[in-house]
Amino acid sequence: MDEVKNAANSGESAKKKNFFIKILISKWFVLTVFILCISGYAAWWGMEWWTDFSAKRGDNKHGAHVSQKTTGGGHDTLSVLEETTYDALNTDDAHNLHNALTTHDALSMNARNTHDARTTHESAMQEQGSHETADHGGVTPKNTAPHTAAADKGLNEGKETGHGSATDDTGHGTAHAPPVRTGPRGVAFVQACIQPLDYELNHRFLGWRPNDIIRIADNIKNLQLGVLEVTRRTAVALAENLSRTGSTDAYVPSLEYAMNSFMIKPTELMFPSAEGKYQEGLDGWKDYQEMLQRGEARFYRRVDNLVPLLKAYESILGSCDENLVKKPGELSTFKADDVFYYAKGVAIAMVTILEALAVDCDDTIGSVQGMDVIHHAVEALHHASSMDPWIVLEGSPDGILANHRANIAAPISHARFYLDVLSGSLTGNL
C-alpha cells in the first residue's frame, strides 16, 4: 500500500511540475513577444523622427542658402529658383516647391520695385541738378551726393528686408510673421486652418499622441486635443457659412467631407485611424484652396458668415476660461496640467487662424473699425501660446509657487473679451 501511495504522490508531483513549467514557458513567450513589439514600435517611431529631423534640417540649410544667394540682387533670382526647385524635386517635397515659387515671386517683385525706385530717384536728381545748374550758373549742388547715398541706403535696407521675409519660418510656433495675402481671398485663411493640425500629424515628434498604445506623457496629447477642437469648429463654419451664399446653397463636397472627417474620435487607432481621417480632412481643405486659386470656388466674407465663426471661438475660449479659473483644490495636480495644455493648444491653433482672418477679411472687419480689436485678441493668444513651463504647478494665488492655470487664464479671458467685442460690433451691422 505504501508503494502505491508513493507512486501516486510522485505522479502528482510530476504533473504539477510539468504544469508549472508550461506556465513559466508561456509567460516567457508572452513577455518575449511583448518586448519585441515594443522594440519594433520604438524603432519605427525612431525612423520616422529621424526622417522628419533630416527633412527639417535640409529645409533650414536650404533657406540659408537662398538668403545668401538673393543678397546679390535681382539678377540672381532665376538661378535661386532653379536651385530651389531642383532641391525640392530631389527631396520629393511639394511644400518646398511651393516655397520656392513664392520666394521667386517675392524676390522678383522686390528687385523690380527697387529698380523702379532707384530709376525714379536718379531721374529726379538729374532733373533737379539740371534746374539748379541753369538757375545758378552751373554751380553744382552740394547736397546731391549725401542725399543720393541716403536714398541708396534706404533702398538697400528695403531690399534686405524683402529678402528676409522670403525665408520666414512657417512652422508651428508662436514667433512667426503674420500671413500676407498673395492670392485670392480665402487662400491664406484655408492655409492657416491647415497649418496647426498638419504640424501635429506630420511634424510633431511621435506624431498624433491621443491614440498611442503606450503613452509616455499626456501634455502633448491634451495640446493636440485643443488644436483639434479649434479645427473642428473652423471646419463647420467653413463648410456651412464661409463657402456658401446662404442656407439654400449646396455644400462644397470637399469641405463637407473634411468636416465629417474631423469628427472621428481622436483615440481611434485603426479601421479607420484618427491620423488617416484627419489627413483626409486636410486634403479636402487643400482641394478647396486650389479651387479658390483657379476661381472655381468662392470665399464669402460677409458679416453674417463671420459672426458664427467668432461666436464658436468665443465659446471655446469661455470653456477653457471656466476650467482655468477654478479654485485650487477643485482640480488635482494631474488634472491641472491637462487643462493648461488643452488651453495652450486652443490658443496655438486659434491665433494662426485669426491672423489669416484679419488678412482675408480686412475689408469686412475694417468696416466696423475692428482691426485693432482683432489684433488685441491675437496678441493675447500669442501670450497664452508662448507659455511653456517646465512643470505645471498648482500653487495658491498668494503663495510662493506659481499657479500656471491662473497665469494662462488671463490672456485667454482677454482674447474671449475682444472676440465678443468684435462679434458685437459686426452684429450691429446685420
The residue among 378, 351, 54 whose CA lies nearest residue 195 is: 351
Alpha carbon distances (Å) from 303 to 140, 234, 308: 60, 16, 9
Sign of CA dihedral 59, 64, 65, 71: positive
**Residue ranges per structural domain of the chain:** 1-168, 187-427
Return the amino acid letter for 235. Answer: A
Distance in angstroms between the alpha carbons of the first and the last residue of the chain: 105
Highest mean pLDDT among 29-38, 41-50, 95-104, 280-289: 280-289
Average per-residue pLDDT for the chain: 75
Give the lowest-confidence range in 124-133, 276-285, 381-390.
Answer: 124-133
pTM (2 decimals)? 0.61
Contact 307, 427 (CB under 8 A): yes
pLDDT at position 103 over 70: no
Question: Mean of the pLDDT values across residues 89-102?
Answer: 43
pLDDT at position 175 over 50: no
pLDDT band at 83 (very low <50, low <70, confident <90, very high): very low
pLDDT band at 19 (very low <50, low <70, confident <90, very high): low
Q: Which three cell numbers stand for residue 417?
A: 473679451
Residue-wise pLDDT for 296-334, tens only, equals 999 999 999 999 999 999 999 999 999 999 887 788 878
Residue-wise pLDDT for 34-59, tens only, equals 788 788 778 777 777 777 777 776 65
Q: State the residue for C-alpha cell 491664406.
A: 188
DSSP character string of 68-112 = HHHTT-GGGHHHHHHHHHHHHHHTT-HHHHHHHHHHHHHHHHHHH
Q: Classify burial at 302, counting beta carbons within 10 Å of its beta carbon; exposed 0-12, middle 13-18, buried 19 or more.
A: middle
Q: Give the three-class secondary structure for 393.
A: coil
pLDDT at position 252 over 70: yes
pLDDT at position 14 over 70: no
Q: Tell me what pLDDT residue 357 has.
A: 96
Question: Mean of the pLDDT values across residues 74-101?
Answer: 42
Q: Tell me what pLDDT residue 342 has.
A: 97
